[in-house]
Amino acid sequence: MVLRLDVQHDLLVKVSRNTLIHPSIPTGKVVSIADIATGTGIWLRDLSRSLSEVPGVQRYYHGFDISSAQFPPADDSIKFSVHDITVPFPEEHWNRYDLVHVRLLVAALAEPDYRAAVANIYQLLKPGGYMQWEEIDEETYIADNVAFQEIRRCFNLGLKAEGKYFQASAKVYHESQSAGFRDVVRVEYSSHWDAGLRPSTEQRFVAIIGTLYTSLLLRSAQVPDEEAASKKGEELIERFRQLCAQGESPPVKLMRVVGQKPLHEVV
């Protein structure tokens, strides 16, 4: 799992044209950074490496996750805490961060959770601070590719059965505007910008079919048992590979929502 998240991180950074942070966010002003649902902390670790190339600024990094299971061994450079994004953060973190990042919560949050999550991020940010929330959600699977249509059908049904919400980035976009963020944008990055990303993108989809697809089939009772779920998964992987070999290799789309907390609250 740890390795999977770290490999996936490398792909997603390349998909977003090698940007850890959207170019509209002034990195020179980003001194205090939080990453929520941080997992292994790979995004924070990569960001701290990349920002350390600009010497002379002492930065503060804090990763939060609902579980500490994937946190890296403790060191002084990055702090990690267990926290659920849908619950307000301890007051010591309010108005503390110039940038709050979130990535890949689509399989974890129910529709109403997004409003609470965005409000909690708003509370963490200093006036003028930025939120950047990234997802691979339904947008990736809106495609002619028949294997994708099957994944989309299964995810829509499976996530709904668990009270989760597949249109994550569209929801974050609307909730951010309602929460008071300004200059909110939703940007789509496609792996098709670089043909060299095709093999790793195809591998990622094969992994998604073998894990999330098969487990959602089973969890939402779309198949009777584990054996039927893996059989359906294997058949879909086969079909997906055939389509890719015929030149129908689909892109992964990373949806990135960026917004700024106003410098002055409107009263």
Ligand X SMILES: C[S@@+](CC[C@H](N)C(=O)[O-])C[C@H]1O[C@@H](n2cnc3c(N)ncnc32)[C@H](O)[C@@H]1O
108 binds ligand X (CB under 6 A): yes
Binding window for ligand X (CB under 6 A); candidates: 65-73, 207-215, 230-238, 252-260: 65-73
List own/partner pairs for 71-75 with CB under 8 A and 24 or more apart.
71/38, 71/40, 71/41, 72/40, 72/41, 72/45
Phi-psi region of 184 (alpha: psi -120 to 50; beta: other; left: phi over 0): beta
Site for ligand X in 149-208 (CB under 6 A): none
DSSP 24-76: TS-GGG--EEEEES-TT-HHHHHHHHHHTTSTT---EEEEEES--TTPPPP-S
Tell the smallest beta-carbon distance from residue 146 to ligand X (Å). Answer: 26
What is the C-alpha to C-alpha distance for residues 8 and 208, in angstroms, rounded to an integer? 11
Q: Rank residues 84 and 202 by Cβ distance to ligand X and give the closer one.
A: 84
| Binds ligand X by CB under 6 A, chosen from 38, 167, 176, 214 | 38
Q: Rank residues 38 and 167 by Cβ distance to ligand X and give the closer one.
A: 38
Site for ligand X in 8-37 (CB under 6 A): 9, 36-37
Residues in the chain: 267
Tell the smallest beta-carbon distance from residue 215 to ligand X (Å). Answer: 13
| Binds ligand X by CB under 6 A, chosen from 32, 86, 176, 260 | 86
Tell the smallest beta-carbon distance from residue 1 to ligand X (Å). Answer: 9
Instruction: Give the CB-nearest residue to ligand X.
Output: 39
Tell the smallest beta-carbon distance from residue 67 to ligand X (Å). Answer: 4
Q: Rank residues 179 and 212 by Cβ distance to ligand X and give the closer one.
A: 212
84 binds ligand X (CB under 6 A): yes
Closest by CA to 85, choosing from 49, 53, 48, 39, is 39
- Residue 134 three-state SS: strand
Give the CA distances from residue 211 to residues 9, 128, 240, in Å, rounded to whole numbers and listed in that order: 17, 40, 15
Q: Which residues sit at the interface with ligand X, rule CB under 6 A?
A: 5, 9, 36-39, 42-43, 65-67, 70, 84-86, 103-105, 108
